[in-house]
Amino acid sequence: MSTMKTLYEYGGDEFIFVQLSEEMSLKSNFTGMTITRKLKERQIEGILDICPSNASYMIRFNPDIVDPAWLMDELKDIEQTTDPFDVTISSRLVDVPVLFEDPWTHEALMRFRDRHQDPEATDLQYSARINGYDSTEEFIAAITSAPFLVSMIGFVPGLPWCFQMVQREKQIEVPKYVRPRTFTPERAFGFGGAFSVIYPVQGAGGYQLYGIAPAPIYQKEQTLPDFKESMVFPQQGDIFRYRSINREEYDDIRKQVENGTFSYQKQEFTFTPKEVLADLDSFAENVMRRLYHD
């Protein structure tokens, strides 16, 4: 049973918004993930959309079919009768290659130094320093040494918000740009607050830029094997491990993408939030072992 103070609110005639916590944590995200999955299982007529977020979720419904007050009571019932940490979550472990300090995001970030907290440093240099690392190499090692939970999908289609599965004192946190960039390359890898992201398409953005992924996480054409069922690859509950690669491997993966043969290295995986929260270090070791050695 959740002990978090939960806020339930109506949003006009068709929405219910539920805030589980004022700050993002693995506990609040697991709670929202469990409640929204349980709600989906109930197959309530009149629910049009279920949108889970980092520490909240929103429901869209047809008030001509389902009574709003009754639906809110159903949501409260799920929260009160479900242990969000003792459920089994079906997930995927995914190897996500990233070329750090690449020329494309470097060119983009250098165009907008006047919008940055430290115009004299790159985003990596600035982020490493404010997080207490002596070098960008140590900072990259911190990002790649532990897996990330895909906590939600959104902002733009297919963008995965990812929260690193480490103890709170080890969490990387960085501010967004003082003013957003008007250009960010497609597949740029960045960080804002406590979240890593991969930008699915070219556009504006305000997150610190560290590198670029050679493989897409959104493909409108759906020609690659991983996109046959959906043009969006990430799913809430996925566990990403960002792996640092060199330019040679980057170019090789780009060729595979272009000729339609690329497929992410991944493993089906089940876990309970309880085992994650009990020992994050052991869980991270298990993820690495399963992903690369099974």
Confidence of residue 2 (pLDDT cuts 50, 70, 90): very low
Nearest to residue 163, comparing CAs of 28, 17, 39, 10? 28
Rounded percentage of the chain residues whose pLDDT exceeds 90: 86
Terminal CA-CA length for the chain: 35
Residue indicated by tokens 């929204």: 36
Specify the domain boundaries for CATH 3.30.1360.40 within the chain: 7-83
Per DSSP, helices labelled H in the chain are: 26-42, 68-81, 103-110, 123-130, 136-144, 247-258, 273-278, 280-293
In the chain, ranges of CATH 2.40.100.10 domains: 90-293
**Is the sign of the CA dihedral 106, 111, 117, 121 positive or negative?**
positive
pLDDT attached to residue 4: 56
Split at pLDDT 50, 70, 90, the class of 25 is confident
Angle at 94 between CA 93 and CA 98, to 5 degrees: 145
Amino acid at 231: M
Q: State the pTM of this model.
A: 0.90
CA-based Rg of the chain, rounded to a whole angstrom? 20
Most confident of 22-31, 49-58, 71-80, 246-255: 246-255
Q: Is the pLDDT assigned to residue 38 strictly greater than 50?
A: yes
| Mean pLDDT for all residues in the chain | 94
Question: Quick one: what percent of the chain has pLDDT higher than 70?
Answer: 98
Q: What is the pLDDT of residues 60-75, one digit of tens each?
A: 999 999 999 999 999 9
pLDDT in tens, 145-156: 999 999 999 878
The amino acid present at 126, given as its one-letter code, is Y
Token pair belonging to 290: 């399963």
CA distance 265 to 276: 22
Question: Structurally, what CATH architecture does the domain formed by 7-83 represent?
Answer: 2-Layer Sandwich (3.30)
Copy the structure tokens of residue 274: 């309880």
| Local structure of 284: helix, strand or coil | helix
Among residues 204, 206, 146, 135, the alpha carbon closest in space to that of 170 is found at 146
CATH topology of domain 90-293: Cyclophilin (2.40.100)
Q: State yes or no: pLDDT of 256 exceeds 90.
A: yes
Grouping H, G, I as helix, E, B as strand and the rest as coil, residue 220 is: coil
Cα(213)–Cα(152) distance, integer angstroms: 19
Q: Are 161 and 54 in contact (CB under 8 A)?
A: yes
- The three-point CA angle 254-154-13 to 5° equals 155
